[in-house]
Amino acid sequence: MLFGAFLAWETRNVTIPALNDSKYIGMSVYNVVILSSIGATVSMVLKKTQHYELHHALVSAVVLLSTTVALTMVFLPKVNTAYLKN
């Protein structure tokens, strides 16, 4: 997480538009941190209950959601730009 935030900070002033995606990288890091902290908190609460299926479903949903949103935020603008150019 820290390395991703560092890379986003270092590439914030890149003048090449195709490479200047530090805003999206920063939002992706923020998204993963928020979803992970919410998931970890609720997971700790559910771990001590009898609802182990809900615990596993929540962890799976948080992992899938954060990964999907992060990849979409980073790559969708690039795909959209490439698609609109042609």
| pLDDT given at position 68 | 92
- pLDDT, the chain, mean: 81
Residue 19's pLDDT is 65
Q: Higher confidence at residue 69 or residue 85?
A: 69
**Tens of pLDDT, residues 1-40:** 778 778 777 777 777 766 667 778 778 888 888 988 988 8
Residue 66 has a CB neighbour count (10 Å cut-off) of: 19
Please report the pLDDT score of residue 64 as a whole number.
92
The model's pTM: 0.68
Residue whose pair of structure tokens reads 């003048």 in the numeric block = 15
11-16: long-range contacts at Cβ-Cβ below 8 A with a sequence spacing of 24 or more?
none
